[in-house]
Structure 1
Amino acid sequence: MKRLLIDEQNKTQAITEAVKVLRNGGLIVFPTETAYGVGALATNSEAVTKLLQYKERPVGKAISVAVADRETAERYVEINNEADQLFKQFLPGPLTVVCNSKHYADTRLESEKATLGIRIPDFDFTLKLLKELKEGISATSANRAGKKTPYSIEDILANNPARKTEMLDLILDYGELPKRPTSTVIDTTTLDMQVIRSGAISFDTPIIEKEITSYEEMIDLGTSFTKENIKGKAESLIIISFNAELGAGKTQFMKGVALALGINETIKSPTYSLLNEYDTHDGLKLIHIDTWRMASVAELEEVLQESYFAHRNIIAIEWAGAAEEMIREKTQQAIKNGVKVIRFNVEILYTNKDTRRIKIVKSHE
């Protein structure tokens, strides 16, 4: 395994070396706008075999392909009218567009329905790499199944046994990436386009979109949001996922949520405890999670009880992207058990030093 720390001076060299490794059937770790991915040349059967062994992923569970542009994508998939509009509007960007495969890539990357997801990452270094390669590579996160979403190389190495790390031929280390949600996955092959996985891009109309200029306003917003959207929904499991940087006001928002629920305890971000639990007077339970310092998903699994994924519970997750896969799996299991799930995605962006723009989108899982 070779690890390259990418800087302005060695970008061209790193791209040349990565292309060589890929063409020789090797695996690379590469940065994207959502997380670090693990890449294998999509048309190389030996490389795909190695990828599947690394990910421990069964055949039939699809892996998308990252390409540099639409022209390259057309070698891999059939782009219908719906997909065409998504390509024009959102790509490059954190969106995976599922289309009918042309079977140009190794078919083990396809779904059981012979569809294939296509990604055009919005990350300049990786786009240049893909343009130089002139082919597609696998676009799956570099973590193994059930492990922490990798925003740094340390996230990968700390959660890999040595035998897995040794399978990686080249690591392109771009430093710590922003903790953003995973890509949204949308299937364009169905009668009505279907969102398979919610992520960075939402196709739902925001229920709230406004600017906030003080922490007091953020608390007030958390209170009004809860009164309007959570109170009275006691028979559902409520999940609130945050996409926001440090200091954006996530904990202040949660203080407002707690006030509306009648919780008298002081709300603090569970940065070190990972999870705090609060009971309300009317029998609801608030589970407040912060994955910022989480080293592995196993840490969260130790404290995140199965009973939390049930009616009358509210799960709020700061830095939700780091545990997205595990949360999604537990949510899907709850749905199978008859639990109605309502999810709110809360995005808080800095617009200037004193102003935040907050957007809240509601979705039914």
Structure 2
Amino acid sequence: MMKTLKANDSEIVETAVKVLKNGGLVIFPTETMYGIGADATNEKAINKLNNYKKRPLGKPYSIAVTGQAMSEEYAQLNKTARQLYKSFLPGPVTIISKIKIQDSNQIQKSKFKLASGIGSELGTIGIRIPDYPLVLDIIEKLGRPITATSANASYKKRPYKISDIFDNISDKQKSLIDLVIDAGELPHNEPSTVIDTTLDDPVVLRQGEVVIGSSPKVISRSEEDTKNTAKELWQSYEKHAGQRAIVFALEGPMGAGKTVFTKGLAKAMGIGDEILSPTYNLHHNYQFLIYNLQTNSNNQIPNIKTLSHIDAWRMSGPKELEALGMRGLIHDKSVLAIEWAERVGDTIRNYNEEAIIIWVKIKYGKKEKEREISWGAI
């Protein structure tokens, strides 16, 4: 039976450790959002977590540790990783390294062996050191890593308070939770930045709270990565939905993944319709729900909004964009995803006082399936 305790409860650390040792799932607060933790060395616990997250096989989990010493029990930290640990941890940064193994027998050099499904199929592991004393105390008392994944179901609302979780999961998922540590509503911070240090140069796979470099930029290695980047970007601006129009101005060569990116946006919005390329019809509209807080109450009022997917490739000029109803969409506080936005850039910029405009550039990467995705708002 699920138990809920306040974060300042005197027995919280002991209770959480007991649950984790027994293979249970614990929802806990962090400096970014609520996470859900399982003993990262317990096969049954990870299977239970997979059922909760409805996570496809082969998608790894990152882990949370108390410090660099515990990291080195499980990962091979190269010079780049060590420098990043020194510069950014503890904090909202996840660093991917190669899993530590013995050269001959492929046996991990650690007291506890990570459960299958924690590391990636490439033999890598994402590790972070939370900047949250309660979580560090739990891991220290447990004596081994816990999973460091958000407590929401995939593509659902970021969990900054417990109701964000429970309002978006099924009764079956709720039944899998053993302990909830409630710290109230958390600051609405971005998720952790994910950096891969296993290559010659560090690569940002997810841009989060910490910006590495002069502007947000990530490397996508698959269509799913591109969709996840779109999801994270939408969740950064979701709070403005229904208050102002939001325009994702998508730039990039043919086949780079602009439509794939839009599919990720739509999925994050809860749109179940198939997202088709609007090249021939110029635009497609899709409906989605947002929930606005009613004035002077805690009631959330559902509001139907529009995602307008527009392709400017065949447009002869800015007037065609206006002819599609751009002004009305902006006035209605819709969300627009405009492919080939550079062709109608001046028209889009005309609305920068009425809309939030995010310019997203998608370029081909060094490898066949890689894409470099960067963005900025005006």
Indicate the TM-score class for this superposition, using the shorter chain for normalisation. Answer: 0.5 to 0.7
Determine the C-alpha separation between the residues in 2 that align with 1:239 and 1:157. Answer: 20
Contact kept? 1:23, 1:41, Cα under 8 Å: yes
| 1:125 has 2:134 as partner | yes
Structure 2 CA distance for partners of 1:24 and 1:333, relative to 1, 3 Å: farther
Q: Distance in 1 between matches of 2:132 and 2:154?
A: 24
Q: Which residue of 2 aligns with 1:57?
A: 55
Q: 1:197 aligns with which of 200, 206, 223?
A: 206
Structure 2 residue aligned with 1:113: 122
**Superposition TM-score, scaled by structure 2 size:** 0.61
* Cα drift, residue 64 of structure 1: 0.1
Larger radius of gyration: 2
**RMSD, aligned CA:** 4.0
Contact 1:68 1:134 in 2 (8 A): no
1:311 aligns with 2:311: no
- Secondary structure of 1:154's counterpart equals helix
* 1:34 matched residue in structure 2: 32
SS at match of 2:14: helix
**Which of 162, 167, 176 is residue 171 of structure 2 equivalent to?**
162
Q: 1:334 to 1:173 in 2, by over 3 A?
A: farther
Give the whole-Å Cα distance in 1 for the aligned partners of 2:376 and 2:63: 29
CA distance in 1, matches of 2:128, 2:68: 10
* 3-state DSSP of counterpart to 2:339: coil
Q: CA shift at 1:107, angstroms?
A: 2.8
Structure 1 match to 2:245: 276
TM-score (norm 1): 0.63
Deviation at 1:297, TM superposition (A): 4.3
Cα shift readout 1:43-99 (whole Å, capped 9, x = no counterpart): 000000001111111222121000111111111111111111111111100000001
Query: Residue in 2 aligned with 1:290?
Result: none
After the TM superposition, which residues 1-365 of structure 1 pair with which residues of structure 2 at under 5 Å, given as runs? 1-7=2-8, 10=9, 12-102=10-100, 103=108, 104-205=113-214, 271=240, 273=242, 276=245, 297-298=269-270, 299=289, 303-307=306-310, 308-312=337-341, 342-344=374-376
Q: CA offset at residue 273 of structure 1? A: 2.1
Report the AA paired with residue 375 of structure 2: R
Q: CA deviation at 1:339?
A: 10
Structure-2 residue corresponding to 1:283 = none
Q: Deviations over 1:219-248 (max 9, x none)?
A: xxxxxxxxxxxxxxxxxxx9996999xxxx
How far apart are residue 131 of structure 1 and its match? 1.4
Give, in angstroms, the shift of residue 205 of structure 1. 2.3
**Aligned partners of 1:125, 1:139: CA distance in 2, in Å?**
14
Between the aligned partners of 1:37 and 1:26, the Cα distance in structure 2 is 14
Distance in 2 (CA, whole Å) between partners of 1:174 and 1:67 is: 21
Contact 2:157–2:235 (CA under 8 A) maintained in structure 1 = no
Q: Which 5+ residue runs of structure 1 have no aligned equivalent?
A: 208-237, 245-249, 251-268, 279-295, 321-326, 347-365
Q: Which residue of 1 aligns with 2:321?
A: none
